[in-house]
A and B are shown apart, each in its own frame.
Chain A
Amino acid sequence: MDFKEKIIEKILLLIAFSSVSVLALITFFIFEQGLPLIWKIGPKAFLLGEQWIPSKGLFGIFPMIVSSFWVTLGALLLGIPLGLACTIFLCEWTPPSLATLLRPAIQLLAAIPSVIYGFWGLIVLVPLIRNHLGSPGLSILAGSLVLSFMILPTIITISEDSLKALPPSYKAGALALGATHWQAIWRVLIPAARSGIVSSIILGMGRAIGETMAMIMILGNAVKMPTSFLDSARTLTTNIGIEMGYASGDHRQALFATGIVLFFIIMGLNTLAIFLSRRRVH
């Protein structure tokens, strides 16, 4: 009996480790492929170079770093107010019958494949922007709009959890002191759940930076420094996605090197989110 227990334990351990080792392998592979190129052309030329012309050996990804942040910033500007409004409504005003309908609907947003978002953006949003605001329509604005919908489920579910985790006495106390319902929410509940809400936003940001397929379809992918929200842009992820099929040699390594930069950005954001959500315990 004891022996069998041990075997089962070891098998489960092995399985658990195999999933972690996949992560380790991927990390190793990205760095092993990408680092040589970064050293070859110099980290500064790679990170701050403004020209990406692989056929000429120019691998500057600065425009893509900037574009990634523009697109993400746009998504957050649109997504945070929408997400927070939705969360507050869900927690405080929605009758239970409506909430049972709304909650799965929001979770369903996360289940829609990103290619569908991209297709919808391409067919609906892009022509709207082209006809009303000028520009080719394939733009940061279109990308940010689509992303803001894609990050809604992340923002709503996590910040709703953190609002619900608050002791009921917070709200009761605020109301007892004469605060209106809205004052209680805005002055007491939201600040108390701040760390959870902020980490939901950071996780949403990670999702936005990592999105690839939809962005390839609607950003236009021009490799230049964006100057307005109506400009076409190429993010770090779409750079990999759009060029990997044909890349070889230095070009391929440069795409892996782009992956390294993404890796650090995503790791940074996730660490920040974990750190912030831990602080809530105190």
Chain B
Amino acid sequence: MIKDAHNKTYFIWTLGSLLIILLTLGCQRSKAGITVAGSTSVEPFAELLAEEYMIHHQKSHIYVQGGGSTAGIEAAISGAANIGMSSRYLIGDEKKLHAVMIAKDAIAVIVNPKNPIADLSLVQIRNTFSGKIKSWKEIGGPLPPIVLVTREEGSGTRESFQRFVMGKEDISLEALVQDSNGAVRQVVASDLNAIGYISLGLVNEQVKALRISGVEPSIINIDHGKYKLVRPFLFIFNGEPDGDAKSFLEFVLSATAQKLLFKEGLVPVLPNIAQK
């Protein structure tokens, strides 16, 4: 009997301490640091910069998360993230936030490398994505119907594409919808008839970036303002940046970091880096 009672006390203590452990687990943080969250277009570049930054600043840790431009801006407002990442300009109420442009990115219209088409005009691209042009034959390509690939509603890349290319026209509802640059690239890379748009920095040998009315989407053309499909990559702060966030921003705007971004296919904000 006595042993039994012991067992029960023991049981209660174990259960109690387990509960306490479970409750406090959520409050733990492995390392102090700052969180950078937002646009999935900026995310891979921010990760790269964060890694580079942490090599030189061993004490601080930078957590990079995706979620999208809007989520990033909201996170900056709510304080869930120290820095929000956005691949679109701020609109409406958001304008009261502190935004710093860290680079410019172009949107490339991509097709399968086996597709003979290499050049389309803006109007042709608009009519293709609005569904007016349904077959590659109409714009000098192979026969089969065009497979449109677009991003989901709310995506910064889609928003920029809508503004630069579509204007008031809607993207056809027939279009396949993929939820990341990588997924769009994957579909276009595997489908001869597909056409899509992604961040220029993420174009690789699996897909072909089209010239738009003869203008190659190159860094020089973007810098000279010839290639028009260009959007900003922004860091968003709620108020003036301070502490680790400030020091990370300073690093991102430094020549080292800007050179890194240039190598990855972005257009740096420091003018003299893009020249060379």
Contacts and interface: CB of A to CB of B under 8 A. Distances in A.
Contacts of B67: 245
Contact of B8 (A4, A216, A234, A241): A4
Contact of B190 (A4, A55, A127, A246): A127
Nearest to A217: B183
Contacts of B174: 222, 224
Interface string B30-63: 0000000000100000000000000000000000
B173 A246 contact: no
A112 interface: no
Given A8-B12, A242-B152, A246-B155, A136 B173 contact: no
B203 interface: no
A223 B177 contact: yes
Interface in A8-29: 8, 11
B242 interface: no
B191 A8 contact: no
B138 interface: no
Interface in A83-134: 122, 126-127, 130, 134
Nearest to B148: A222
Contacts, number: 89
Interface string A32-57: 00000000000000000001011110
A238 to B, nearest CB: 9
Contact of B177 (A1, A11, A56, A220): A220
A138 B155 contact: no
A8 B11 contact: yes
A242 B128 CA distance: 23
A137 interface: yes
Nearest to A251: B154
A8 B69 CA distance: 49
Contacts of B175: 222
B12 A245 contact: no
B9 interface: yes
B170 interface: yes
Given A8-B12, A136-B193, A248-B70, A216 B153 contact: no
A221 B176 CA distance: 6
B176 A11 contact: no
Given A8-B12, A130-B191, A222-B177, A246 B66 contact: no
Contacts of A241: 179
A170 B190 CA distance: 55
A232 B175 CA distance: 9
Contacts of A221: 152, 176-179
B12 A246 contact: no
B179 to A, nearest CB: 5
Interface in B71-119: 71, 74
Contacts of B68: 245-246
A53 B176 contact: no
B270 interface: no
A64 to B, nearest CB: 12
B207 interface: no
A246 B69 contact: yes
Contacts of A54: 153-154
B15 interface: yes
A138 B176 contact: yes
Given A136-B193, A222-B173, A246-B154, A8 B8 contact: yes
A11 B15 contact: yes
A142 to B, nearest CB: 12
Contacts of A122: 186
Contacts of A138: 176, 187
Contacts of B162: 55
Interface string A207-222: 0000000001000111
Top 10 closest A-B pairs, CB basis?
A246-B154, A246-B68, A221-B177, A220-B176, A245-B68, A136-B147, A54-B153, A224-B173, A242-B179, A248-B70
11 contacts: A4-B5, A8-B11, A51-B173, A136-B147, A137-B191, A138-B187, A222-B175, A223-B173, A232-B176, A242-B177, A246-B152
Given A51-B173, A246-B156, 12 more contacts: A4-B5, A8-B12, A11-B12, A11-B15, A53-B173, A130-B191, A137-B191, A221-B178, A242-B177, A243-B179, A245-B66, A246-B153
